[in-house]
Amino acid sequence: MITILISNKYFTMSSLFKKYLMALTGIVLIGFVFVHMLGNLQILLGQESINAYAHALQSLPLPILWGSRIFLFACVVLHAFTAILLIKENRAARPVPNEVERTKRAGWSSLRMGLTGSIILAFVVFHLLHFTTRNLYPEYGELETATGSPDGEMIHDVYTMVLVGFRIDWISISYVICMFLLCRHLAHGVSSTFQSLGLRSESWSSKLDLASKAYAWVIFVGFSIVPLSVLADKYGLISFYSHNSLKTADLL
Amino acid sequence: MNLTLKVWRQSGPEDKGRFESHEIEDVSEDSSFLEMMDQLNELLLSKGIEPVSFDHDCREGICGMCSLNINGFAHGPEDSTTTCQLHMRKFEDGDVITIEPFRARAFPVVRDLIVDRSSFDKIIQAGGYISARTGSAPDGNALPIPKADSDKAMDAAACIGCGACVASCKNASAMLFTSAKAGHLNLLPQGKAEKDKRVVDMVSAMDNAGFGNCRNYGECSAACPKDISLDFIAKLNRDHAKAKLKKLFS
C-alpha cells in the first residue's frame, strides 16, 4: 500500500529523494543498533546492571517509550518499502538482461543488500517475538527478581532470560549468523549513506570506507559476544556468568 | 590469432534479438577491437551475410561513439579504455568473446550493437548548458577561477558521454553521466547562477528517460574510460538536496 502511495501519479519521488529516504532512515537504524549493542553489553557487568538498565528503559514515560518505538518502526517500514520500490524500478530499467554479467569493483555485501536486508528484517521479527513480546517462550515473562530493582520491588529478570535464551545452541548460532549479515549490510550501508547524502569527497572517501567497515565489525563483535559467551559458559569453556539465577529458571 | 565471436544480432527495435556465433581466423594481435570487428564484417560480406552494425567514429578514444559490452564488461575488461582503444593482444588465441549492446531501457537497440543514446541528449537539454551568452573566448585570467576548481571541473568535463556507466551499472543508472555533466558546470563561476535549477531539471530528465536508481556500487566509475570519480555523484546528491531544501524554505 505504501508502495502505491509513494509512487502514484499525484506524488512521484525523484530517484534522489528515494536515496535520501534510504539514507536518512538508515542513519536512524545505524544509530539504533549501536545504542542497542551498548545496552546489551551491560550484561557483562552483571545481573544488577542489565536488569536496572532494562527496567529503566521499560519505565520511561509512555509517550517517550512508544514514541521511539513507533518512530523506529516507521523507519524500518520506510527503509524496506523504499528498497522494494528501488529494486522494482531498477529491474525495469534493464528489460533485456546481459548474457554475460561481470563485476569490476562492487563487493558481495553491496550487491546483496536486498538479500541481507530481508534476512535482517525476518530476524528482527523473530527477535521481537523472542525477547520483547516473548510469544515464542511465554515462560520468560515469569522470570522475576529484585536484583537491579531501584526500590526492591520485583522486576523482570532480563539477565536470566538472556542466559536461558542463548543456552539453546541453534538460537545463539542463528543470532550470530544474522549479526554477520547485519555486519555485511552495514559495511555497504554506512558508507553508502554518506554517498547518498552527498557527504563525501575525494580527500576522505577512503577513510570513510574504512570507518564504515570498522563500524560494521564493531557491531558484529559487540552483538555476538553475548550469545557466544553464554554458549562458551554453557559448555564450560569459560566460567563467567552467575548460575544462581539459572537454578530459579530451571524450576520453570 | 583465431577467435569465436558470439555477437548480438537484432534487426530493429521491435525484433527480439539473438546471438550468432562466427569463427574468425588470422586476427592480428596489434589490431584494435573495432578493426577486428571490421575484419569480421568483411568476412561476413564475403559469405553473403549481412554485416554486424556497431557504432564508431574517431577511433582514438575521445568521441564517445563506440560502445559494446565485451565479455560482460562495458568497453571490455581493460580499465580506462574505450572499445576502439582496446587491442586484441589483451585476448588469448582461441578465446570465445561475447559481444552485446549497451543494454538499458533508456538505450533502445537500433540495430545489432547500435543503441540509441539520445536519452543522454535529453538530460543535457534539461540543464547541461549555460544560458547566458558567453561571447568570444575571454582573456586568460579575466575571470579568476582557483586551479583546484578548474582541475576538478575538467575532470568532470572529460566525460565523453559514451554510456559505459549505464551499461556497467547493475541498475542501468545514469548517475555518473548526469553528475559529471552537472558537476562540470556547477563548479565554474559561469555555471553557478543556474546551479539549483540545473540539478533539479537534469535529475528529473534522467528519471523520466527510464534509467534505474543509483545504489552506490561504483561499477560505473570502474568502467568509465575517463575515470570519472564517484565524488561527482556525491556532489550531485548534495547539490540536489540543497536545491530542494532552498526551494522548500524560500
Q: At A169, which CATH number?
A: 1.20.1300
The C-alpha angle with vertex A97 and arms to A94 and A98, in degrees rounded to 5, equals: 120
Q: How many residues in chain B?
A: 250
Class of residue B31 by CB neighbours under 10 A (exposed 0-12, middle 13-18, buried 19+)? middle
The answer to whether the Cβ–Cβ distance between B71 and A96 falls below 8 Å is: no
Q: Is A130 on the interface with B (CB under 8 A)?
A: no
Q: How many residues in chain A?
A: 252
pTM above threshold 0.90: yes
Q: What value does the mean pLDDT take over residues A134-150?
A: 90
Over the stretch B158-211, which tens digit does the pLDDT of each residue have? 999 999 999 999 999 999 999 999 999 999 999 999 999 999 999 999 999 999
Q: How confident is the model at residue A10 (pLDDT cuts 50, 70, 90)?
A: low
Q: Is residue A10 part of a domain?
A: no
Q: Is residue A167 part of a domain?
A: yes
Residues 6+ apart with CB under 8 A from A205: B230, B231
Across A24-38, A128-142, B71-85, B198-212, least confident range: A128-142
Q: Is residue B214 predicted with pLDDT exceeding 70?
A: yes
3-state secondary structure of B111: strand
pLDDT value, residue A44: 96
Quote ipTM for the complex: 0.92
Q: Is residue A246 predicted with pLDDT exceeding 90?
A: no
Q: Is residue A247 predicted with pLDDT exceeding 90?
A: no
Per cent of chain B over pLDDT 90 is: 94
pLDDT value, residue A3: 52
**Which phi-psi region, left, alpha or beta, contains residue A236 (left: φ > 0; alpha: ψ -120 to 50)?**
left
pLDDT value, residue A2: 53
3-state secondary structure of B217: coil
Q: Is residue B86 predicted with pLDDT exceeding 90?
A: yes
Q: How confident is the model at residue A148 (pLDDT cuts 50, 70, 90)?
A: confident
Q: Is residue B82 predicted with pLDDT exceeding 60?
A: yes
Q: What value does the mean pLDDT take over residues B147-157?
A: 96
Q: Sign (positive/negative) of CA torsion A186, A188, A190, A192?
A: negative
Per cent of chain A over pLDDT 70 is: 94
Q: Is residue A1 part of a domain?
A: no
Q: What value does the mean pLDDT take over residues B37-41?
A: 98
Residue B74 CA to residue A204 CA, distance in Å, equals: 28
Q: Is residue A101 part of a domain?
A: no
Q: Is residue A157 predicted with pLDDT exceeding 90?
A: yes
Q: How confident is the model at residue B97 (pLDDT cuts 50, 70, 90)?
A: very high
The answer to whether the Cβ–Cβ distance between B216 and A104 falls below 8 Å is: no
Q: Is A97 on the interface with B (CB under 8 A)?
A: yes
Residues 6+ apart with CB under 8 A from A82: A6, A18, A21, A22, A25
Task: Provide the H-helix boundaries in chain A.
Answer: 2-6, 15-41, 47-58, 62-92, 108-111, 113-127, 158-166, 169-196, 202-234, 244-250
Domains and their CATH numbers in chain B: 3-110 (3.10.20.30), 117-132+139-249 (1.10.1060.10)
Across A179-193, A231-245, B79-93, least confident range: A231-245
Q: How confident is the model at residue A54 (pLDDT cuts 50, 70, 90)?
A: very high
Over the stretch A202-230, which tens digit does the pLDDT of each residue have? 788 889 999 999 999 999 999 999 999 99
Average per-residue pLDDT in chain B?
A: 96
Q: How many CB atoms within 10 Å of residue A41?
A: 15
The answer to whether the Cβ–Cβ distance between B212 and A16 falls below 8 Å is: no
Report chain A's terminal Cα–Cα distance, integer Å: 44
pLDDT value, residue A227: 97
Select from B17, B207, B216 the Cβ nearest to the Cβ of A195.
B216
Host domain of residue A173: 15-92+108-250
Q: Is residue A200 part of a domain?
A: yes
Burial B88-115 (b: 16+ CB within 10 A, else e): beebeeeeebbbbbbbbbbbbbbbbbbb
pLDDT value, residue A222: 98
Q: Is residue A8 part of a domain?
A: no
Q: What value does the mean pLDDT take over residues A10-27?
A: 90
Q: Is A95 on the interface with B (CB under 8 A)?
A: yes
Select from A14, A97, A104 the Cβ nearest to the Cβ of B219.
A104
pLDDT value, residue A13: 87
Per cent of chain B over pLDDT 70 is: 100
Q: What value does the mean pLDDT take over residues B61-85?
A: 97
Q: Give A155's strand partners.
A: A145
Mutation for testing the B interface, residue in A24, A102, A110, A185 having most B CBs under 10 Å? A102
- Residue with grid cell 547524502, as numbered in its chain: A197
Over the stretch A97-123, which tens digit does the pLDDT of each residue have? 999 999 999 999 999 999 999 999 999
Residue B70 CA to residue B84 CA, distance in Å, equals: 12
Q: Is residue A100 part of a domain?
A: no
Q: Is A103 on the interface with B (CB under 8 A)?
A: yes
Q: Is residue A40 part of a domain?
A: yes
Query: How many domains would you assign to chain A?
Result: 1
pLDDT value, residue B70: 98
Q: What DSSP letter does each residue of B55-105 carry, written as one string?
A: --S-SSS-S-----EETTEET-SSTT--GGG-BGGGS-TT-EEEEE---BT
